[in-house]
Amino acid sequence: MYAAKRNLADQYRRTGISSRVAEADPHQLIALLFESAGQRIRRAQACLDQGDVAQKGKAIGEACAILGHLSGSLDHEAGGQVASNLASLYDYIIRRLTEANLHNDPAPLRESLDLLVEIESAWNSIPQAQRVAMPS
């Protein structure tokens, strides 16, 4: 019964995420990536607290992959110094997450989440009128 219930919850979550992605504009897609990376870091923290090293590593790996996608999506030509600074910050967060994973250390997880929340907050505070529309 528990496995079936969990399977239904997972399916519902995937469907909810799929519909959010399908309806999202480019700005919202990036916001979803920030949200998802933060969720993975929080999951890694919980797994570390519970001693589940394998799931902690999986969550950190997923967070690093999302950050890699965020970094790869930066337009360095249009974004100039801001894009360069964000790329450096994403790289730093990935290094800190890797350290947390290697040493089972919660401090780099907290630092990484704090930095990510700051970036996410700044991204979400961009006024609608200043969001660049991307062609479909």
Question: DSSP of 109-124, one letter per residue?
Answer: HHHHHHHHHHHHHHHH
**What's the CATH superfamily of 25-125?**
Flagellar protein FliS (1.20.120.340)
pTM of the model: 0.82
Q: What's residue 7's pLDDT?
A: 57
Pairwise CA distance, residues 97 & 93, whole Å: 6
3-state DSSP assignment of residue 75 = coil
Q: What is the mean pLDDT of the chain?
A: 87
Burial class, 78, CB count within 10 angstroms (exposed 0-12 / middle 13-18 / buried 19+)? exposed
**96 contacts 112 by C-beta, under 8 angstroms:** yes
135 pLDDT band, cuts 50/70/90, is: very low
26 pLDDT band, cuts 50/70/90, is: confident
pLDDT digits (tens, 9 = 90+) for 95-109: 999 999 999 999 999
* Residue written as token pair 């990935």: 94
Does residue 90 carry a pLDDT above 70? yes
**97 contacts 68 by C-beta, under 8 angstroms:** no
| Residues contacting 59, CB < 8 A, separation 6+ | 40, 41, 43, 44, 47
- Give the amino acid at 34: F
Does residue 16 carry a pLDDT above 60? no
pLDDT digits (tens, 9 = 90+) for 49-86: 999 999 999 999 999 999 999 999 999 998 899 999 99
